[in-house]
Structure 1
Amino acid sequence: MQSSSDLFPVALISAERRGDLIEDVYRLKPGNSPDFSVELAVTRLGLVSGANVRSVPVILVHGSFSNRRFWYSPKGIGLGAYLARAGFDVWIPEMRGHGLSARNQAYRHNRVADYARYDLPSVAAFVREQSGQIPHWIGHSLGGTTLAAALGGQYLGVEQAASVALFGSQVTRGFWPLKLPPVQWISRFILKRFEHVSGSRLKRGPEDEPMGVLLESMRWRGLFARFGDKKEDWWAGLRDVQVPLLAVTAAGDHQDPAWACRELYEQFGSERKQFLCLGREQGFTEDFGHVQMLVSKAAQAQVWPLVEAWLEQPAMGPVTESTLNVSATP
């Protein structure tokens, strides 16, 4: 593997022009986790007209059963493309076994803990090396949860994250049967027989999820559970986070409800943070859903400008309502 980085082996595996955008795909082999077969695909989006201009980097982290296409379609539509056209340097990593990232040898055992401890810091280091700037981060659903784990575990800090925006991310909504030890034991015994959960069969998305992620999520929701792993208490660690935070929920999101997203938001110790709910009561034209909050025509008109405003304002001082005063009407 040829290297274009001083950090670890990196290969440019694709370089395409798609309309007004440049799409470069890199394959990273950090070699920093117990499974040395891990390779991560990271896509960079930029404007053709600004190919040699170093702009503010933004890293977009997809959620479960998803890949880079959540952020931009082959036709160049999506928040990723929007931000690139707004002048940002957009980077989109795909988690182990998702999209262009090959399945690693220990794929079935992949966990959020691995993404947070090993993969996101590697992506942060590479993007900072290439851009010369500290990147901003945006995560949706499990992508946001992974960012919270990385921040709470001190794997990412102010040297790796200029700001973080979490969309539809929470860790405290539980299911009472899972708090019963016999139910947990039986469920885990059955699920351990399988390698992954099929997104297409469950109609949850185009990708599969490794069983390790599901088992880890169940453990977070068990009796006397905590958000963390055997070594780290990520939930407690969030109190020490000083990275500027934007937490966004949707009034019509029944998967990750607003109250649970707010609990995660309130756990952050950041002095500069903002909580937004996308719903009619807040002046939007609809009660957005879990996916529709970022992927819909209404999101394009009403939510994407909010994201752009946030990315432009963390360095301007304390967050206020007026700094995100973007009209909710198209």
Structure 2
Amino acid sequence: MQHQQSSDWLQVADYRLHLRQLQPVEPNGQRVLMLHGAIENSRIFYNEKGRGLGCFLADQGFTVYCADFAGRGQSIPAVSRSFNHSQQQLIADDIPALIRHLALAGPVHLVVHSWAGVVVAAALARQPELVPLVRSLVTFGSKRCISVQSWQRWLHIDLVWNRLAPLLCKAYGYLPARQWRFGADNEPAQYLLDTIGWIRGEPFADPTDGFDYRSACQPVRWPPSWHFAAVNDQLLGHPQDVQAFLAETGLSSGRYSLLAKSAGQLLDYDHISMLTAPEARQDHFPLLADWLRVQ
């Protein structure tokens, strides 16, 4: 491992967002902000043994910051009945605060997983003055709507996410995804409720104040972008839903790659293994590092 790890916290309103800094031994002067998806935290990108995309990029000379959203990971306080947090707060407050904080030393690369791609696009569309602070945008398995019809969708989305999860939020005051073993981290109740309409395919507008993100995306001059989908991601980031999200936001002008053996990869990747499989260090991780260097 050719980097050192440490933690810092960014104060936003009455809570603090955890930032895990991966500091390379020989920094190349470029910085990367990594943002996680729903029912997970920033450890999707790193661990203390040097695994994950964040660690790989740090070993390549990038200074990497892996952020935990409010209430998740090591952010303070942890999600609970007494600490709620909405999707709009994430879009309008937290993501802008993270970008501005790290961009004090110049524009940053954004690397995001799953639902983080949706909230990042919304944040940049809502506050387009942030766009010049973003050097590039990379998404992994990011989709807004789940359109595929399958037994997995019926079980995990229609039953668990759309019906069971709101009931659990009423009972616990938050979504206990870890306790119920369908996620790596818990979610604030309001955040969970805010996602349901978008996943169902309702308009890309803010459920709190009606802000029209779809329209706001159209004039945005997006930074250079690269979007990854995985051939075995048959639900949470199905390739057709990833492409629909890119078309809706105008991000389809960026580069798109399907991670599959048929495309020359060592594995047929899925929603999680695209970031965690050891084979990724020989497949798309080096290609991404090379691409980031020239953006």
Give the TM-score of the pair, scaled to structure 1: 0.76
1:279 Cα deviation after fit: 1.2
* CA distance, structure 2, for counterparts of residue 273 and residue 57 of structure 1: 20
Q: CA 1:29–1:78 in 2, change beyond 3 Å: closer, same or farther?
A: same
Q: Deviations over 1:249-306 (max 9, x none)?
A: 1010022200000011123335851111111222223221100011001212102112
1:190 Cα deviation after fit: 7.3
Structure 1 residues 250-259 or 281-290, which shifts more? 281-290
1:54 Cα deviation after fit: 6.8
Aligned residue-pair number: 281
2:137 corresponds to: 164
Q: CA 1:100–1:188 in 2, change beyond 3 Å: closer, same or farther?
A: closer
**Is 1:238 matched with 2:217?**
yes
1:40 corresponds to: 17
* CA distance, structure 1, for counterparts of residue 99 and residue 243 of structure 2: 26
Asked if 2 retains the 8 angstrom alpha-carbon contact of 1:96 and 1:107, the reply is no
**Is 1:308 matched with 2:289?**
yes
* CA distance, structure 1, for counterparts of residue 201 and residue 241 of structure 2: 18
1:119 corresponds to: 94
Asked if 1 retains the 8 angstrom alpha-carbon contact of 2:107 and 2:133, the reply is yes
Asked if 2 retains the 8 angstrom alpha-carbon contact of 1:244 and 1:271, the reply is no
Q: CA 1:290–1:190 in 2, change beyond 3 Å: closer, same or farther?
A: closer
**Is 1:98 matched with 2:72?**
yes
* CA distance, structure 2, for counterparts of residue 185 and residue 91 of structure 1: 35
Asked if 2 retains the 8 angstrom alpha-carbon contact of 1:42 and 1:92, the reply is yes
2:174 corresponds to: 196
1:197 Cα deviation after fit: 1.9
Which of residues 230, 240, 249 is equivalent to 1:250?
230
* CA distance, structure 2, for counterparts of residue 257 and residue 270 of structure 1: 17
* CA distance, structure 2, for counterparts of residue 269 and residue 44 of structure 1: 31
Q: CA 1:46–1:257 in 2, change beyond 3 Å: closer, same or farther?
A: same
Q: CA RMSD in A?
A: 2.8
Q: CA 1:57–1:189 in 2, change beyond 3 Å: closer, same or farther?
A: same
1:147 corresponds to: 120
Structure 2 counterpart SS, 1:293: helix
1:298 corresponds to: 279
Structure 2 counterpart SS, 1:84: helix
* CA distance, structure 1, for counterparts of residue 202 and residue 55 of structure 2: 42
Asked if 1 retains the 8 angstrom alpha-carbon contact of 2:147 and 2:241, the reply is no
* CA distance, structure 2, for counterparts of residue 220 and residue 20 of structure 1: 40
Report the AA paired with residue 190 of structure 2.
G
Structure 1 counterpart SS, 2:12: coil
**Is 1:25 matched with 2:25?**
no
**Is 1:259 matched with 2:236?**
no
* CA distance, structure 2, for counterparts of residue 30 and residue 290 of structure 1: 30
Q: CA 1:268–1:226 in 2, change beyond 3 Å: closer, same or farther?
A: closer
Report the AA paired with residue 122 of structure 2.
A
Which of residues 77, 83, 86 is equivalent to 2:57?
83
Structure 2 counterpart SS, 1:158: helix
Q: CA 1:207–1:274 in 2, change beyond 3 Å: closer, same or farther?
A: same
Asked if 2 retains the 8 angstrom alpha-carbon contact of 1:294 and 1:303, the reply is no
